[in-house]
A and B are shown apart, each in its own frame.
With several copies, the nearest count.
Chain A
Amino acid sequence: IGEIRRYLRDNNPIRVSRSLRDVAYKALQVRDNLVGRFSREPTVNEIAEELKIPREEVVFALDAIQDPVSLFDPIYQ
């Protein structure tokens, strides 16, 4: 698992910095709040509006904390 974690981290398109991570986790938090409020999955635009940042930045931040590799790629090549 440690190996895989390191692989994922090393292959992240951006070295996930603190502030980027903060944006991502705030976005996920807002998403949870909005699910409660709307009783449905909120759209990215709704999350971005709530955070008052451009939607692309939400996308960018969330991608940075995500598993970046193909799920079915052999991890060890």
Chain B
Amino acid sequence: MKHNYFTLTIPALKENVGLVRVLVASFAAQKDLTLPELDDIKVAVSEAVTNSIIHGYGNNPGEIIIKGYFADEGLYIEVIDFGKGIDREKIREKAVLDPEEEHPGLGFIFMQSLMDRVEIIPGERGTKVILFKRILADRTA
């Protein structure tokens, strides 16, 4: 398959989470994935998009960009918003990613356990979350 990717722009509405899920699943399914793997990716992406809607924009109007591409022998999904941004202190302290923390966000814990890599990149405005899932080249081998 030739190099493939997508960029999707949607308003930050709850009813669009399902939309993103099936788009990402259809895209990921172009590679040889099992349904449980697809489900992992769908759940992780849902968490990231829901965060942008709820935390990034506080349920106010805004746009979310979702990008997908295959690279580094896996699938990258980026979820980008231009909302209030995620607390840099929180990320540095790894509070959002540490399951040992007192009140850890379950969303990021989830994303981390379902994906092979999760990166949180605070933008000048808003947040970018990069999710990476390794895809076995040939599982029948």
Chain A residues close to B by CB (< 8 Å):
11-15, 17, 19-20, 31, 40-45, 47, 54-60, 62-63, 68-73
**A68 CA to B21 CA in the complex, in Å?**
9
Are A68 and B17 in contact (CB-based, < 8 A)?
A: yes
Are A72 and B47 in contact (CB-based, < 8 A)?
A: yes
Are A72 and B106 in contact (CB-based, < 8 A)?
A: yes
Chain B residues close to A by CB (< 8 Å):
14-15, 17-19, 21-22, 25-26, 29-30, 32-36, 38, 42-43, 46-47, 50, 54, 106-107, 110, 139
Contact of B19 among A13, A42, A71, A73 (CB under 8 A): A13
Once A40-B139, A68-B17 are accepted as A-B contacts, the answer to whether A63 and B42 lie under 8 Å apart by CB is yes
Residues on A with beta carbons closer than 8 Å to the beta carbon of B18: 11-13, 54-57, 63, 68
Residues on B with beta carbons closer than 8 Å to the beta carbon of A20: 35
Residues on B with beta carbons closer than 8 Å to the beta carbon of A19: 35
Residues on B with beta carbons closer than 8 Å to the beta carbon of A60: 22, 25-26
**A11 CA to B25 CA in the complex, in Å?**
16
**A73 CA to B48 CA in the complex, in Å?**
12
Are A72 and B107 in contact (CB-based, < 8 A)?
A: yes
Residues on B with beta carbons closer than 8 Å to the beta carbon of A11: 14-15, 18
Residues on B with beta carbons closer than 8 Å to the beta carbon of A63: 18, 21-22, 25, 42
**A31 CA to B39 CA in the complex, in Å?**
14
Report the nearest A residue to B34, measured CB to CB: A41
**A58 CA to B33 CA in the complex, in Å?**
13
